[in-house]
Structure 1
Amino acid sequence: MNLFDLPSGSFSPAQLLGTAGLPAQTPAGLVGNTPTLWIGEPFTAAGRGFWAKLEGHNPGGIKDRTALYMVRAARERGELLPGGRIVESTSGTLGLGLALAGVTFGHPVSVVTDPGMEPLMAGLLAAYGAEIHVVDRPHASGAWQRARRERVAELLATHPDAWCPDQYHNPDNVAAYKPLAYELAAQLGRIDTLVVSVGTGGHSAGIASVLRGFFPALKVVGVDATGSTIFGQPAAPRLMRGLGSSIYPRNVGYAFFDEVHWVAAPEAVWAARTLARCRYATGGWSVGAIALVARWLAGTLPVEDRIVAVFPDGPQRYIGTVFDDTYCREHRLFGCRPADAPDEIDHPAERTVDRWTRCTTVLDPLTDVERGSAEVAG
């Protein structure tokens, strides 16, 4: 039952249950059971399209799920003591989730970020009681992420009772997304292709591992940012936030991916803005990049292929960036309609990419020894 199917005349209030969510006694009860929307023409070609899982319908976005799960698990193991401080590095969305978890379980929260955090995001975090620390310069070898993580270590030393979720390497970050995968299977019945952005690696590995159990032939497509090191490209300055990395997160499940696409900031902006006008469902950098790739897949895969793209958040935090004309002009993000198809490379190290590019060879860029050294350095 939806808004247009309400019964006429007299009816029992029980008949309205299909249109209402269950009452929530804590903020955590607002997380999950997000809707799935068909994205078709005019964003896609006629008769083609894909399903979008709208994680922006959580209070703060997709990382509400992992923040609550990681905090609850740490409390159960005794790693996070009652009233202990939570300290983490974040570009924004996980910070909102940790603020939600802090309110739910009674923990103060400190987030470490950098000057690229949007003013709206900083304002929301402050409103929800989070303490914000901003590093003022990137690390010489690890960019902003390494500088933030070093500041986290300093705060942990200052607060002996503090705990860090370590979202980049915490396996709970992966396990947290099992319910999301169950929701997708229940909503769509069959899934042939999954399109996911990759940052910490949590939701891509968590969703793919469960769905592969239901659908062994599932095709998994990872979406990364140009300038990100995750899939073997060299590090470079990145304007986009929420996807990509300048370190090597242990949670990335390389074995799940059939292909990876790198998307540049202007291409993501075009897709996010076009999607907003076409379907009234959009988001920021990650959603734009994901939608661009899913749109192409919808036009190239067999018409019966059921594609689902996970949209991590909504457009609200990007009003001052992706959806701000002045910002986009200043950063030369306009006038770059993406090509109809991605460029192609045969190996991630073949060359440095600076536009939408696809590669069907997916490798962990580090050996076990190199990965251990990178984690110590990061």
Structure 2
Amino acid sequence: MRTNIAPTPVPTPSPAEFLAAPATTMRRTPAGAVGNTPVLWVGEPYCGPRRGFWAKLEGHNPGGIKDRPALYMIERARESGRLAPGGRIVESTSGTLGLGLALAGITFGHPVTVVTDTGMEPLMVRLLRAHGAEVDIVDTPHPRGGWQQARRERVRALLDADPTAYSPDQYNNPHNVEAYRGLAHELIAQLGRIDTLVASVGTGGHSAGVGRELRRFLPHLRVVGVDAVGSGIFGQPSGKRIMRGLGSSIVPGNVDHGLFDEVHWVDPARAVRTARTLASTHYCSGGWSVGAVATVARWLAHTRPITERVVAIFPDGPQRYFDTVYNDDYCRAHGLLETPSTEEPEEIATPSERVVTAWTRCAKVGEIAEGRTDTVERGRR
């Protein structure tokens, strides 16, 4: 005789259980796919025997590392009332934050205008438009502040024309820094002990956010900043740069100069060589920032004690660099395929000792920002 048996009820997970779910849990929204990015050991053949470093692969976020601050800054602006429902988001970016803001616009229901310049890769322009963002391109650099200042002035003009618009101002917004605490927590959960953190520096957001939070748990952490040749962030004069995503012709307020134990300036030829080597040896790479950061992380892995654990943050993947880093014609035209003459950085005692033109290291950073004239004007927030 067949008996009808009531099915066993399936318990509904509590909010705390949802938060504790593993990274493999399926997500119901695009924003839910941000975070919990993997780490990868980068060793031989790029590094020597028993040498290497851990890479945090932020390219596994939908748009890259800046998905984190884009969502966080917009959510905080909505909570505070600075961004009204349906209000337009306007921001200056070289690319990755634009993708994050496009994601935030879709998530929270806001139109997005991204202000960039003629140096943005055509692929990135098309990606931004495909994801619903309007792209406003400035065609003339500012005589003193370069492309970044020209973009910021265009943002200000757009804000003046639309009183309901909001700019998160990634250069000075403290929420850009706070957004990266979760990344620091992920690293601790994944790796435990971390001795040296290597991070690229552009707006200053992820280096300050991750570095400060890690030092709360790891007070002896060394933080190494990676800048671009031609950038003015760490006391060098601003000059022409082709690398995007790191470096700046202005000094963003979010850069925490006192956080860094040393800084390296990396040239584009070195970054290209490293990015391509990583791709062919580890199936793991990215663009200018990844090439520069990995260059420095490898050197540290070889020169610091073998027991130290070096961690590098890779901000994105290789996809957007199809026309630049991974394009032989582009690289050849810019003289980027020549083999560097040395695998060691040059050394300077202070950031202002001389103008650097190739990979260079300085172990004395200090409070470079003291007494400077800040060319950054705070946007409407």
User: Considering the TM-score relative to the shorter chain, is it more than 0.5?
Assistant: yes
Q: Residue 116 of structure 1 aligns with which residue?
A: 119
Q: Residue 298 of structure 1 aligns with which residue?
A: 301
- Give 1:376 shift: 3.8
Which of the residues 213, 218, 234 maps onto 1:215? 218
Structure 2 Cα separation of the partners of residues 166 and 354 of structure 1: 30
Does the CA-based 8 Å contact 2:278-2:284 persist in structure 1?
yes
Structure 2 Cα separation of the partners of residues 364 and 79 of structure 1: 32
- Give 1:365 shift: 3.1
From the two aligned structures, give the one with the greater helix fraction.
1
Instruction: Give the aligned length.
Output: 359
Does the CA-based 8 Å contact 2:149-2:376 persist in structure 1?
no
Q: Residue 36 of structure 1 aligns with which residue?
A: 39
Across the aligned residues of Structure 1 and Structure 2, the Cα RMSD in angstroms comes to 1.4
Structure 2 Cα separation of the partners of residues 37 and 213 of structure 1: 24
| 1:305-325 CA-partner distances (Å, limit 9, x unpaired) | 001000000000001100000
- Give 1:363 shift: 3.0
Residue identity opposite 2:375 in structure 1: A
- Give 1:24 shift: 1.4
Q: Residue 90 of structure 1 aligns with which residue?
A: 93
TM-score (norm 1): 0.93
Unaligned runs of 5+ in 2: 1-20
Structure 2 Cα separation of the partners of residues 176 and 20 of structure 1: 19
1:77 aligns with 2:80: yes
Are residues 19 and 141 of structure 1, via their aligned partners in 2, closer, same or farther at CA, if it must alter by over 3 Å? Answer: closer
Does the CA-based 8 Å contact 2:125-2:135 persist in structure 1?
yes
| 1:271-311 CA-partner distances (Å, limit 9, x unpaired) | 00011111000000000000000000011111110010000
Q: Residue 284 of structure 1 aligns with which residue?
A: 287
1:374 aligns with 2:375: yes
Structure 2 Cα separation of the partners of residues 142 and 57 of structure 1: 33
| 1:146-168 CA-partner distances (Å, limit 9, x unpaired) | 10001001111111110000000
Residue identity opposite 1:141 in structure 2: R
Q: Residue 149 of structure 2 aligns with which residue?
A: 146
- 1:54-65 residue pairs with structure 2 within 5 A? 54-65=57-68
1:234 aligns with 2:237: yes
1:355 aligns with 2:353: no
Q: Residue 258 of structure 1 aligns with which residue?
A: 261
TM-score (norm 2): 0.92
3-state DSSP of counterpart to 1:66? helix
Does the CA-based 8 Å contact 1:231-1:364 persist in structure 2?
no
1:317 aligns with 2:315: no
Does the CA-based 8 Å contact 1:68-1:98 persist in structure 2?
yes
Are residues 214 and 20 of structure 1, via their aligned partners in 2, closer, same or farther at CA, if it must alter by over 3 Å? Answer: closer
Comparing 355-364 with 267-276, which one deviates more in the overlay?
355-364
Comparing 329-338 with 71-80, which one deviates more in the overlay?
329-338
Which of the residues 174, 179, 187 maps onto 1:176? 179
3-state DSSP of counterpart to 1:91? coil
Does the CA-based 8 Å contact 2:169-2:378 persist in structure 1?
no
- Give 1:338 shift: 5.7
Structure 1 Cα separation of the partners of residues 121 and 278 of structure 2: 21
Does the CA-based 8 Å contact 2:172-2:378 persist in structure 1?
no
3-state DSSP of counterpart to 1:375? coil
- Give 1:364 shift: 3.5
3-state DSSP of counterpart to 1:308? strand
| 1:131-185 CA-partner distances (Å, limit 9, x unpaired) | 0000011011111001000100111111111000000000000000000000000
Residue identity opposite 1:335 in structure 2: E
Structure 2 Cα separation of the partners of residues 313 and 26 of structure 1: 21
Structure 2 Cα separation of the partners of residues 377 and 248 of structure 1: 12
Residue identity opposite 1:297 in structure 2: L
Structure 1 Cα separation of the partners of residues 139 and 212 of structure 2: 38
Residue identity opposite 1:106 in structure 2: G
Q: Residue 340 of structure 1 aligns with which residue?
A: 343
Residue identity opposite 1:111 in structure 2: V
Q: Residue 108 of structure 2 aligns with which residue?
A: 105
Does the CA-based 8 Å contact 2:257-2:368 persist in structure 1?
no
| 1:174-225 CA-partner distances (Å, limit 9, x unpaired) | 0000000000000001000000000000000000001111111101000000
Does the CA-based 8 Å contact 1:231-1:363 persist in structure 2?
no
Structure 1 Cα separation of the partners of residues 23 and 263 of structure 2: 38
